[in-house]
Amino acid sequence: MELNILIAGVGGQGNLFASSILAEYLLKKGHKVLAVETIGAAQRGGSVVSHLRVSDAEIYSPLIPAGKVDILMGFETIEMLRNFELLAGDGIYLLNDYKEPTVLCNMEMDTYPSDEEIRAALEKSGKKGYTIKATECARQIGGSLLTNVVMVGALCQISPLFDSQEVKRVLAGKSPAKVKEQNRQAFDAGGSLIQEAMR
């Protein structure tokens, strides 16, 4: 068994928290886990990528080799597209339909790709994947900061490696008291969103 998950988003989306929940759960189950984040010199709003590797055999490289990503989680649209090439042939993507335009796009100095362009490129890639509105859902529950938890909830439904109830327990253990209930709701909402998307 080996599973490689790449989480691509922008600074402030709680990329690291999502990775740490999954890692803690996987370690509890007795798997080997190796993870790394690429943050660069980013403050809020820069690209952030988390590599999470799980296996029962030895894992060596903390970075997932190109073409070996099994699940590509995009917390932000172009951040997922930027890393799309790393997906394995049979890898799947899980995209949060949320766009954070770049400063240059905002200022008409660059162009954020249109929905049609994105859809066409994804279709042409032939890769399987799901798109959910996790940030929109997070905002309804309590704020966009819950996006990561919605996405983790969704992931647990598409990968048999994760037991939703157990991951939820880990999440509760790592959540500060005041957001525990919101996190629980966000997690469940993620599960429902993906089930709708899979239908």
Partner 1 sequence: MAEKEYLMGNEAMGRGAIEAGVKVVAGYPGTPASEVLEYVSKYPDVHAEWCINEKVALETCMGASLCNTRSLAVMKHNGTNVALDFIMHLNYTGVRGGLVLISGDDPGGISSQNEEDSRIITRLDAHLPVFDPWCPQEAKDMVKTAFELSEETELCFVVRPVMRVCHARNTVSMEDIKEAKEPHFEDDRSRFIMSAVKEVKAGGTLRPVVRHRWLNEKQPVLAKIMEDSPFNHIEDGEGKIGMVTCGIGYAFVKEAEKILDKKFPVLKLGTLPLPKNKVLQFASKMDKLVVYEDSEAVVEGILKQFFYDEGVKVEVVGRSGFLPREGELSTTIVLKSLAALYPELEKQIPKTVPLEMKVPIRTRTQCVGCQYRGLLHALKLAAHKYKGVVTGDIGCYDAGSFPPLELQSTIYCMGSSIPMASGIAHSGYDRPVFAIIGDSTFFHNGVLGLLNAIHSGVDMVAIVCDNRTTAMTGFQPHPGSDIDVHGEPTLAIDVARLATTAGAASARVVNPYDIPQVKEALEKAVKEKGVSVIVATEPCYLVSRRTGELGFTPRKVVLDPELCNGCKICVTFFGCPSIHFGDGKATIDYGTCVECGMCVEVCPRGAITWS
Using CB under 8 A, list all residues that contact partner 1: 10, 23-24, 27, 32-47, 57-58, 60-63, 65-68, 78, 81-82, 84-89, 101-113, 117-118, 121-122, 124-125
Joined tokens for residue 43: 């403050």
Q: Shortest distance, CB of residue 196 to partner 1, whole angstroms?
A: 25
Q: Which residues pair with 53 in a beta bridge?
A: 4, 34
Task: State the Cα–Cα distance between residues 17 and 197, nearest whole angstrom.
Answer: 24
Q: Which is nearer to partner 1, 82 or 184 (CB)?
A: 82
Q: Which is nearer to partner 1, 88 or 188 (CB)?
A: 88
Q: Which residues pair with 73 in a beta bridge?
A: 7, 94
Task: State the Cα–Cα distance between residues 196 and 51, nearest whole angstrom.
Answer: 27
Cα 79 to chain centroid distance, Å, stands at 10
Q: Which is nearer to partner 1, 79 or 149 (CB)?
A: 79
First to last CA, the chain: 27
How many CB atoms neighbour CB 160 within 10 A? 8
Q: Which is nearer to partner 1, 79 or 191 (CB)?
A: 79
Q: Which is nearer to partner 1, 65 or 195 (CB)?
A: 65
Q: Shortest distance, CB of residue 199 to partner 1, whole angstroms?
A: 26
Instruction: Note whether 149 and 141 are within 8 A (CB).
Output: no
Q: Shortest distance, CB of residue 95 to partner 1, whole angstroms?
A: 13
Q: Shortest distance, CB of residue 162 to partner 1, whole angstroms?
A: 17
Q: Shortest distance, CB of residue 131 to partner 1, whole angstroms?
A: 15
Question: 148: burial class by Cβ within 10 Å (0-12, 13-18, 19+)?
Answer: buried
- The residue assigned the tokens 């809020």 is 44
Q: Which is nearer to partner 1, 20 or 192 (CB)?
A: 20
Q: Shortest distance, CB of residue 111 to partner 1, whole angstroms?
A: 7
